[in-house]
Structure 1
């Protein structure tokens, strides 16, 4: 499995700036409110210092009461401003996260099927759930805290310097150790949290695939193997989390120890200056209170720095979706292999032949599955592809649909490499339906509308009738019947007919059916195939055939063996040639006849 890429620091910074720039007014409002709250918070220690000096100077009770009343007003103002600042910050954060989720879904849907398959479901599931949630927490809670805590610290230390520059210099004694340990931590935190995210994705993948294949695991008695596999992935997560915990176990103790140092220094050195008349007692008390007040924003700042590193790593993983490049290939251009380049290639070709020249393809292990495939599928032709299991039929179908690109050679439509077509236009022109299908949670209408959002109810019903979906008439609420988990569950055969109905609604120029009726019983499959044949008349149809009656009805038949096309011609021609196809036909025809006889005996 090949994971999705991770965005670099520069890309994350640009995206973060863009996220803030989209809602400048809200950001400005949050900053102003928090800054005002911070300024209001500065008044209390200063006023308390004034009270000390006034009492030392023999001031009356009225003056002290007035200063105390001012302290109460400042505290109330600080609370109200902080409350509305937090409210505005959360509103901004939720809007930003909503946009981020929408953009993530858009980028994920733009990924090619091959990229999703290589990445694995666990990788996308982790990025769309854990990572997006972490980024949401960072935008909503962490960023405002870091910005405002930084502003508060600046104001607090500035206030100490205003009290007396010497006290300001003493107050800085704890910063060198905090700065050093923070720098040490930040250098190591991002790689560590990226590794933790990758390990979590692998664990999610292991649990998801085990749950989805639970029946297979139980049937083949693979319980121990899957438990061992999951335990190994849990061990990797444990190791990755221990690495981040080790960083925190150094970072936080050093920071906590650094808090008390400046307060003690101000009291000791301030007392020394006080005895010499350099500073007043009120200034020393106010400076100590300011430093004590600085502990809270400094503590929040450094604690949220840890969460910010998680958010930074998660943001990089979220942005990485959509930055996946296709696998490196060594293409052969149409001109170099004798395919004439169509005029006006900027436009998407329509009604043109689908041509494969010199195509070689290998999966991740590097072993070639296809070996120099040459094939031309004429417009409007019905081509059946047959051959033994593992011969490369489905792989060729994926190349023809543009899902995968050949390692060498080219697949072109109208003289233009199919992988150069816009993905949305390619999906509209060429549709691949396999025996793997999916029923989305929602109504039957919702499931059909994926293929044609503008389709009317009548068109949807006609598509279901066209593929022989007789079960539709028995649904209690018709097109409004809810399907999927927690609602009506469709049988595998019904779900496959639903996929075929989507194909009818999509109305592509070229249809590739990779054993698309495999889940249907022979009688239903034959009826569905005949219904489809009437619907797709005039379109190019490429069928991966496991039932050879499909090959019998096709214009031409291509036989694939060991990744090579060994025979190509009409059914009758290949039967007369008495080669591999003729042997397959005789074997299948005899088995099919026995099956019909067996079913006849059963009916009797």
Structure 2
């Protein structure tokens, strides 16, 4: 299985800055509020130090009460400012995560089908659920904490220097060890968390495929093998999580030990210089309180740094969906990410084709590193022509359909539409011109109207009903709520034949010029299939139709028939001409008619 790419550091950095830039006003408000809250928090230790000095100087209770009241006011102000800062920060985080989810869905839908198939459902499922959720937590919770903690630490250490430069220098004694262990941790964390994410994706893939093929597993008694395979994947997840835990087990103890060092040093140095008049008792107390106050933001900063590393690794995986990849058999780079995410737009896309003529020249194709499935295919499909492709099972008919639709690219040769390689067309442009309908179909959770709107979001109810009628889906008139009837899991389940007709109705609404039907009526009974094919024939008049036919009446009605055997086109001509030629097609025709 070939996984999806992972964005590098520069792409993650640009995308993170873009998230901030697109809501810079909210970010500015958050920073101002947090900064004001941090400044208000500085007042209490300084005022407490003043109280110590005032008492030492023999001041009365009135002066102490005024300072104590000031402390209360500052604490209240800090609480209110922090509350509104966190509120504004969470609102910013939710908006940013919502945009990220929408862009992730857009990039996912723009992925080439072949890339999705090679990546596997587990990879996409993990990125769309675990990784997006982790990024959401990071943006909503972690980033504000890091911003707040960093601001507080800067102001706290600055306040100590303002109290006395000597105490400020002593306060920095614990930072070298924290800096060294943090640098050590960060150099290893990204790679470790990316490995953990990849292992989790493989485990999800293993569980998903086992669940989807449960009947096959039971029928073939493969339960023990699937359990062993799943156990192996769990072992990989366990190993990667142990690796990240090993990093944390070094990082946190060193950091915790570094907290007490500067406080002890300030008290010792302060005690040494206090009798000499170089510092006051209030300054030493205030500096110690500032350092004690610094433990909380420093602790939060370093603890959330671990989550931040998870978030950055997940962000890289989320942004990787749509990055430049090499499609199967090297059809050239594909980039399908919007500029809003910080990933550059596609370059080198071919311009729109000039015409609708579909041409295959010298096409050879193999899956992964296996032998060729197609061997030097030459074929020309004229605009408006109805071409049927027939042949025995395993001859390469569906593979040829995938090449014609631009899902896969030939290992050698070219498949072009209007003089442009099909795989070079932007996905939206290619889908607008060519549509492939296979035996596989999907009913989305939602209303019948929602299911049809996927093909044409602007279609009216009348157009949707006409599309259903065109493919013979008269069952829709029996639905209790018509187009508003809910379909899918937990609602009304469609039979396989009905779901196939729904897929064909989407095809009618999409209205492409070239239709490729890969046994698209295979799920229908012969009578319904024949009726549906006749209805479709009336709808697709003037369009190019390429039908992978297993019922030879489809070939009988076509303008031309291509016979595919062992990955090669052995016969090409009209039905009557091929029957008179008494070759492979004639044998199939006579066999089909008994």
The question of a shared fold, defined as TM-score above 0.5 by the shorter chain, is answered with yes
The answer (yes or no) to whether the contact 1:443–1:482 under 8 Å persists in 2 is yes
Runs of 4+ in structure 1 off by over 4 angstroms are 330-347
Alpha-carbon spacing, 1:563–1:337, altered in 2? closer, same or farther (3 Å): farther
Q: Does 1:579 align with 2:583?
A: yes
Name which of structure 1's ranges 74-83 and 339-348 shifts more when overlaid on structure 2: 339-348
Q: How far did 1:344 drift?
A: 17
Question: How much has 1:339 moved relative to structure 2?
Answer: 36
Deviation string, structure 1 residues 155-205 (Cα, Å, up to 9, x no partner): 111111111111111111111110000000000000111111111111112
SS of equivalent to 1:331? coil
Contact 1:185 1:251 in 2 (8 A): yes
**1:340/1:123 CA distance change after superposition, 3 Å:** closer
- Structure 2 CA distance, aligned partners of 1:322 and 1:69? 58
Q: CA deviation at 1:332?
A: 24
Distance change (3 Å), C-alpha of 1:341 and 1:171: closer
Shift of 1:531: 1.6
Q: Is the 8 A contact 2:467 2:505 kept in 1?
A: yes
Q: Deviations over 1:301-354 (max 9, x none)?
A: 1011111111111111111111142427x9999999999999999874475321
Cα distance, 1:367 vs. partner?
A: 2.5
Residues 110/286 of structure 1: CA separation in 2 closer, same or farther (3 Å cut) = same
Return closer, same or farther for 1:21/1:228 CA change in 2, 3 Å cut-off. Answer: same
What's the CA shift for 1:72? 0.9
Unaligned runs of 5+ in 2: 329-333
Q: Is the 8 A contact 1:181 1:251 kept in 2?
A: yes
Distance verdict in 2 for CA 1:342–1:140, change over 3 Å: closer
Q: What runs of 5+ residues in structure 1 fail to find an aligned partner? A: 589-604
Which of 474, 480, 483 lines up with 1:476 in the alignment?
Answer: 480
TM-score, with length taken from structure 1: 0.92
CA distance in 1, matches of 2:335, 2:446: 42
The 10-residue stretch of structure 1 (526-535 or 178-187) with the greater mean CA deviation from structure 2: 526-535
Instruction: Summarize deviations over 1:126-150 as a string: whole Å, max 9, x none.
Output: 1111111111111111112112211
Q: Which residue of 2 aligns with 1:524?
A: 528
Counterparts in 2 of 1:344 and 1:577: CA distance versus 1, 3 Å = farther
CA RMSD after TM alignment: 4.9
Conserved 8 A contact 1:126-1:200: yes
Conserved 8 A contact 1:45-1:289: yes
Pair 343,531 (structure 1): closer, same or farther in 2 beyond 3 Å: farther
- 1:406-457 Cα offsets, whole Å, 9 max, x none, are 1111111122222232321221111100000011111111111211222222
Structure 1 residues 245 and 347: alpha-carbon distance in aligned structure 2, compared to 1, 3 A threshold: closer
CA deviation after TM superposition for structure 1 residue 586, in Å: 2.7
- Counterpart in 2 of 1:601? none
Shift of 1:221: 2.6
> Structure 1 336/150 Cα, relative in aligned 2: closer, same or farther at 3 Å?
closer
Q: Is the 8 A contact 1:40 1:74 kept in 2?
A: yes
TM-score normalised by L of structure 2: 0.94
Partner of 1:358, secondary structure, is strand
- Contact map agreement 1:33 1:85 (CA 8 A) in 2: yes
Q: Kindly tell me: are residues 351 and 342 of structure 1, through their superposed partners in 2, closer, same or farther at Cα, counting changes over 3 Å?
A: farther
Counterpart among 410, 416, 421 of residue 414 in structure 2? 410
Helix, strand or coil: the match of 1:159?
helix
**How many angstroms apart in 1 are the aligned matches of 2:89 and 2:277?**
46
Secondary structure in structure 1 of the residue aligned to 2:364: strand
Contact persistence 1:431–1:510 (CA under 8 A): yes
Q: Is the 8 A contact 1:386 1:546 kept in 2?
A: yes
- Give the 3 Å change call, closer, same or farther, for CA 218–182 of structure 1 in structure 2: same
Q: Secondary structure of 2:38's partner?
A: helix
Secondary structure of the structure 2 residue equivalent to 1:139: helix
* Cα separation, 2, equivalents of 1:183 and 1:318: 25
Distance in 1 (alpha carbons) for counterparts of 2:337 and 2:149: 59
Matching residue of 1:296: 296
Q: Is the 8 A contact 1:350 1:509 kept in 2?
A: no
- On the 8 A contact 2:335/2:345 being kept in 1, the answer is no
Paired residues of 1:341 and 1:415 also in contact (CA < 8 A) = no
- The structure-2 alpha-carbon separation of the partners of 1:26 and 1:570, relative to structure 1 and needing over 3 Å to count, comes to same
Q: Residue 403 of structure 2 contacts residue 410 of structure 2 at CA under 8 Å; is this kept in 1?
A: yes
1:283–1:203 Cα change, 3 Å: same
Q: How many residue pairs are counted as aligned between the two chains?
A: 587
Structure 2 counterpart SS, 1:275:
coil
1:331–1:406 contact (8 Å) kept in structure 2: no
Give the CA deviation at 1:283: 1.2
Q: Deviations over 1:250-306 (max 9, x none)?
A: 100110111111111111121111132221111111111111000000001101111
**Rounded Cα–Cα distance in structure 2 between residues aligned with 1:340 and 1:503:** 32
Q: Which residue is equivalent to 2:82?
A: 82
Secondary structure in structure 2 of the residue aligned to 1:557: strand
CA contact (8 A) 2:349 2:424 kept: no
Say if 1:485 and 1:331 are closer, same or farther in 2 by CA, change over 3 A. closer
Q: 1:269 to 1:488 in 2, by over 3 A?
A: same
Q: Distance in 1 between matches of 2:55 and 2:77?
A: 26
Change (3 A) 1:239 1:504: same
| Offset from partner CA, 1:79-112 (integer Å, 9 cap, x none) | 1111111011011111111111111111111111
Call closer, same or farther: CA 1:337–1:240 in 2, change over 3 Å.
closer
Q: Is the CA contact 1:339–1:415 (under 8 Å) kept in the aligned structure 2? A: no
Per the alignment, do residues 436 and 450 of structure 1 end up closer, same or farther by CA in structure 2, a change over 3 Å counting?
A: same
Structure-2 change in CA distance of 1:398 and 1:273 (3 Å):
same
For 1:57, the equivalent position in structure 2 comes to 57
Correspondence for 1:600: none
Q: 2:447 matched to 1:431? A: no
What is the rounded CA distance, in whole Å, between the counterparts of 1:108 and 1:128 in structure 2?
9
Deviations 1:524-574 (A, max 9, x none): 112211221222122211111111221222221111122111121222222
Structure 2 Cα separation of the partners of residues 537 and 149 of structure 1: 68
Give the conservation status (yes or no) of the 8 Å contact 1:29–1:88. Answer: yes
Contact 2:193 2:244 in 1 (8 A): yes
- My pick for the range that moved more, 246-255 or 529-538, is 529-538
Contact 2:322–2:336 under 8 Å retained in 1: no
CA distance in 2, matches of 1:341, 1:133: 25
Tell me the CA shift for residue 585 of structure 1. 2.3
SS at structure 1 position matched to 2:274 = helix
